[in-house]
Every structure is written in structure tokens, then in C-alpha cells.
């Protein structure tokens, strides 16, 4: 039994009101794999990097027991490069550059040792590549989670719609839910998106938490009110990794476990934004994760007095 995470691995240039960094490790897969590794010890990555990618970073993944048999290193090429700039409210950002580089011709090879996959996270990547990964698994995993972004809605909408049909859970943010459905109301948007294929839909609302939709049920998870958000990059990927990592640990898929998974994912994401890139989520202690989850519980639990 294992959890495969396929996604971009990047070198990012990021500017926030707190500072500017260049060529730091980012991309969907590192955030998601690190987050999942706190819950589950059979996390396997499928990704590609160029010769410019720091080997020391790969050693950190190995130290987190992340299996790298599916990591391709194209020595002669450049890693995927993304650059973004956040504004003062940190909820909106401008993508300044997306340099696909190695991602342009990425062929997601699934090693034989990965065929025991029961949980699959299709983290942010070309929808076509995400689809290929599903088709290359000999047995359909018990749970397929898809994370994507507006970029793919703009440049590959038809492929994305075909991919969405194949998955159990879709995670997107509020603006993306509105773009995908053409509905402003998130409740109406969720109804339309659930008809597109997935059984569960998670709409992330940044500092306003996340909504989980399933049939007629809705669950609302808060976000931790943080005094300082340093760099929101990767919060969504960290959420997705924590979410599926928790589900892989408990093993059973139902609405109750999904609700807990949303809270665990949100807790991990709240750490991610405290520092640049993957810095904060590289060295978390289980006690601090448990404490953070308890803060989430305290934040929204109340008794109604009659």
C-alpha cells in the first residue's frame, strides 16, 4: 500500500511585502510530499527536475522517507521555473513568469515498485500528464485527489475537464471554482462541479478557511487567524498533501474522515505560510502538529445554551 504524489517541482522567485527570494525550491510536489510524510511513511514521488536542482533538497525528501524512484533528473535541462508577486493583502498574487522547461516534455514514468498505490494525489501539473499517470496504474487507486489551478483552466480547459471526470476529490480555490463553474455563489458552483465527476469537492478560501462538499452535505473548516502571513506560496499544495496523507493513514474513506483530513490539511498549511517556500514544513514536530490541530478545534467548537 502506498501514496503516490505526482506534481511540479520548481525553482521559484517570490516577492512578498516581507522580502524577495530567488530560485528557492517550490512546486506542488515538494510541499505536498513533505506535508503527507508527517502522517504516512509510504509516500512516493513522481516528478521531474533539471540538472540545476539542488541535490541537498532531494536528501531532505529521503530523510522524510519519501521514495524517489519516480523522480527523473534531466541533467542537461532546466527545472520548471515560476515567479510570483504577492500584494499587501496576501490573498492575491500575480504570476510574473511560468517557465515550463522540463515539464514541457515530462513523461510520468511509474516505477513497478509504485504499482501498490492505493492513494493518488495529482498535484498541480499539466492535466494531460495527470491523466497519463492515472492510466499507467494497473489497478485504480482507492482514492484519487486532483489539485489544479487557474493557469490550466486558461490553457488546457478541455483536458482538465476530462481529468476531473476520473477523480474522487477535486481541490481548488474559490476564484477557480467560480471560473470553472461560471457561478459566483460557491454553493451553486459546488453543485455544478460535483456533476462534472468528483464525489467530493474542496473549495479553499485562503485566510477564510475551506469548504468540503459531498452530495447534500457541507463542512466548513476555519483557517487559523495568524498575525503574520509571510509567504502563502504552496499553502494549497501543503493542504492537499496533509489531507491525503491523513486519509492514507486512517485508510477509510467517509465524510467523517474527510472532515478530519480537511482540518489536518489546514493545520499543515498554516505552518507553510510562516516562512518562505518549504522552509517551515521541513522540520515539524508531531507535538506541534497536534497542538496546532487542537487550536483549530478550539477555534470553532461551541455549545449552544438553551
Residue numbers at the binding site for ligand AMP (CB under 6 A): 8, 10, 12, 26-28, 82, 98, 124-125, 149, 151, 233-237
Could you tell me the smallest distance in angstroms from the CB atom of residue 254 to ligand AMP? Answer: 26
Residues contacting 64, CB < 8 A, separation 6+ = 33, 34, 37, 43
Return the number of the residue (13 or 67) whose C-beta is nearest ligand AMP. Answer: 13
Q: How far apart are CA 99 and CA 156, in angstroms?
A: 16
Is there a contact between 285 and 263 (Cβ–Cβ < 8 Å)?
A: no
For residue 210, the Cα-to-chain-centroid distance in whole angstroms is 13
Q: Which is nearer to ligand AMP, 167 or 235 (CB)?
A: 235
Shortest CB 118 distance to ligand AMP, Å: 24
Q: Residue 73 class from Cβ within 10 Å (0-12 exposed, 13-18 middle, 19+ buried)?
A: middle
2 vs 8, which CB is nearer to ligand AMP?
Answer: 8
CB-closest chain residue to ligand AMP: 26
The total number of residues shown for the chain amounts to 306
171 beta partners: 147, 202
> Which DSSP symbol is given to 272?
H
Q: Cβ 71 to ligand AMP, closest distance in Å? A: 16
For residues 200 and 239, which CB has a smaller minimum distance to ligand AMP in the complex? 239
The distance of closest approach from Cβ of residue 125 to ligand AMP in the complex, given in angstroms and rounded to an integer, is 5
Q: What is the largest CA-CA distance in the chain?
A: 69
Instruction: Pick the closer one to ligand AMP by CB: 27 or 198.
Output: 27
Rounded least distance, CB 10 to ligand AMP, Å: 3
Alpha carbons 210 and 18: distance in angstroms, whole number: 25
Q: What are phi and psi of 284, to 5 degrees?
A: -85, 150
Scanning the structure block, which residue is given the C-alpha cell 531532505? 60
**Shortest Å distance, C-beta 303 to ligand AMP:** 35
Q: For 53, which DSSP code?
A: S
Rank residues 42 and 240 by Cβ distance to ligand AMP and give the closer one. Answer: 240
CB 50 within 8 A of CB 91: no
Nearer to ligand AMP, 158 or 301 (CB): 158
Q: Is residue 213 a contact partner of residue 201, using CB atoms and an 8 Å limit? A: yes
Residue 156 C-beta: closest distance to ligand AMP, Å = 10
Amino acid at each position: 500500500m502506498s501514496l503516490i504524489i505526482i506534481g511540479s517541482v520548481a525553482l521559484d522567485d517570490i516577492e512578498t511585502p516581507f522580502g524577495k527570494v530567488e530560485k528557492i525550491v517550490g512546486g506542488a510536489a515538494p510541499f505536498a510530499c513533505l506535508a503527507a510524510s508527517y502522517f504516512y511513511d509510504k509516500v512516493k514521488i513522481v516528478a521531474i527536475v533539471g540538472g540545476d536542482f539542488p541535490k541537498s533538497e532531494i536528501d531532505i525528501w529521503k530523510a522524510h522517507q519519501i521514495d524517489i524512484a519516480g523522480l527523473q533528473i534531466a541533467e542537461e535541462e532546466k527545472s520548471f521555473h515560476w515567479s510570483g508577486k504577492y500584494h499587501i493583502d496576501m490573498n492575491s498574487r500575480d504570476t510574473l513568469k511560468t517557465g515550463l522547461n522540463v515539464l514541457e516534455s515530462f513523461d510520468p514514468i511509474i516505477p513497478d515498485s509504485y504499482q501498490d498505490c492505493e492513494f493518488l494525489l495529482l498535484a498541480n501539473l499539466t492535466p494531460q500528464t495527470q491523466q497519463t499517470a492515472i492510466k499507467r496504474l494497473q489497478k485504480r487507486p482507492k482514492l484519487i485527489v486532483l489539485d489544479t489551478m487557474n493557469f490550466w483552466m486558461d490553457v488546457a480547459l478541455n483536458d482538465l475537464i476530462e481529468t476531473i471526470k476520473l477523480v474522487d476529490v477535486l481541490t481548488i480555490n474559490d476564484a477557480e471554482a467560480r471560473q470553472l463553474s461560471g457561478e459566483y455563489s460557491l454553493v451553486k458552483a459546488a453543485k455544478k462541479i460535483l456533476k462534472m465527476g468528483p464525489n467530493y469537492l474542496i473549495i479553499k478560501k485562503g485566510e477564510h478557511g475551506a469548504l468540503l462538499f459531498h452530495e447534500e452535505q457541507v463542512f466548513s473548516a476555519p483557517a487559523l487567524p495568524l498575525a503574520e502571513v509571510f509567504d502563502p506560496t504552496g499553502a494549497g499544495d501543503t493542504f492537499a498533501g496533509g489531507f491525503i496523507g491523513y486519509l492514507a493513514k486512517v485508510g477509510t474513506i467517509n465524510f467523517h474522515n474527510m472532515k478530519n483530513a480537511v482540518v489536518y490539511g489546514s493545520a499543515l498549511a498554516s505552518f507553510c505560510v510562516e516562512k518562505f517556500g518549504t522552509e517551515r514544513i521541513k522540520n515539524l514536530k508531531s507535538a506541534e502538529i497536534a497542538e496546532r490541530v487542537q487550536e483549530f478545534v478550539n477555534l470553532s467548537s461551541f455549545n449552544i445554551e438553551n
